[in-house]
Amino acid sequence: MGAFVSAAWLLFHTHLRRLAWSKRALVCALLALLAPLAAFLVASLGRRVGPADVAVHVGFLLQLQVILPVLALVAGSAAVAEEVEDRTITFLFSRPVPRPAVLIGRWSAILVFLLTLLAASTLLLLAASARAKGHGDAVDAGIREPLLVAVLLGGAVYSALFAVLGVFVKNPIIVGLGYAFAFEGFLANLPASTQALTIQFYLRSVVAALGSPAWNRVEGFASPSFDPLPKALWTLGLVLALALALGAWRIARREFVVSA
């Protein structure tokens, strides 16, 4: 256990520094600005739209459903797949380093980077929404806190899933896009119990449990079937733990073939 913790901690620091100055970080930062920019444009041009309406619509339709999974995919898929692409995975595995520590250490660095970026993006979105001049509710705690909590929880769970995906497949970004938008994007918006098969459903349950009535004005959000907050949090935590456990098991047994 001591060797695992030491190796994971070293890989965490190394990858965090590397990630912070990479092209991938720049791409993520530009993506993170899209939701605040959209909120700013709507707030500036929509004279009849109030601050709360801008925040809940842009927060739900863009930040939670699009920007969050895309950012988690771009950042999280690099945990293992990047080492395979750079042909450095064999160098890591030739050292006396527990294989699961590579996944956990690098994913932890990605998680810190991603949550920082998502928090900044969401706070900028809320600040831009508050500039709206139309009549309506202000951006209060019932809008700020649920959105921020859901986005950060989603960043943790999605990034773990996409990091583990890189252990199993060669092109995790392609498979991840299919999962995020073809699978989740379809099932999460069906008026049926199949919504419970998606991460989006439990993130919406968090917002529904913590949020103000303003969220019910978003089309497709109001639903009597959301899970209570404890169950939603427990399910998200379970998915996160199972994903990392499965990834640790697989990386310990997989033979990585690096092309010339």
**pLDDT tier for residue 87 given thresholds of 50, 70 and 90:** low
Domain for residue 190, yes or no? yes
Domain for residue 258, yes or no? no
Task: Classify residue 37 by burial, with Cβ atoms within 10 Å: 0-12, 13-18, 19+.
Answer: middle
Total domain count, the chain: 1
Domain for residue 92, yes or no? yes
Q: Which residue has the tokens 């033979």?
A: 255
Say what the pTM is: 0.91
Token readout for 257 is 């073939």
Lowest mean pLDDT among 83-92, 193-202, 217-226, 234-243: 83-92
Domain for residue 19, yes or no? yes
pLDDT at 166: 84
**pLDDT tier for residue 131 given thresholds of 50, 70 and 90:** confident
Domain for residue 166, yes or no? yes
* Contact yes or no for 125/59 (Cβ under 8 A): yes
195-211 pLDDT per residue, tens:
888 999 999 999 999 98
Residues 6 or more apart in contact with residue 174 via CB below 8 angstroms: none
Domain for residue 125, yes or no? yes
pLDDT above 90 (res 219): no
Domain for residue 260, yes or no? no
* Three-state secondary structure readout of the chain: CHHHHHHHHHHHHHHHHHHHCCHHHHHHHHHHCHHHHHHHHHHHHCCCCCHHHHHHHHHHHHHHHHHHHHHHHHHHCHHHHHHHHCCCHHHHHCCCCCHHHHHHHHHHHHHHHHHHHHHHHHHHHHHHHCCCCCCCCCCCHHHHHHHHHHHHHHHHHHHHHHHHHHHHCCCHHHHHHHHHHHHHHHHCCCCCHHHHHCHHHHHHHHHHHHCCHHHHHCCCCCCCCCCCHHHHHHHHHHHHHHHHHHHHHHHHHCCCCCCC
Token readout for 260 is 């010339």
Q: Which residue has the tokens 């809008």?
A: 143
Q: How far is CA 42 from CA 39, 86, 242, in A?
A: 5, 42, 40
Domain for residue 259, yes or no? no
Q: Of 51, 39, 254, whose CA–CA distance to 142 is shortest?
A: 51
Token readout for 83 is 């080492």
**pLDDT tier for residue 216 given thresholds of 50, 70 and 90:** confident
- Residue 58's domain comprises 2-253
- Crossing angle of helices 141-168/99-129, nearest 10°? 150
232-247 pLDDT per residue, tens:
999 999 999 999 999 9
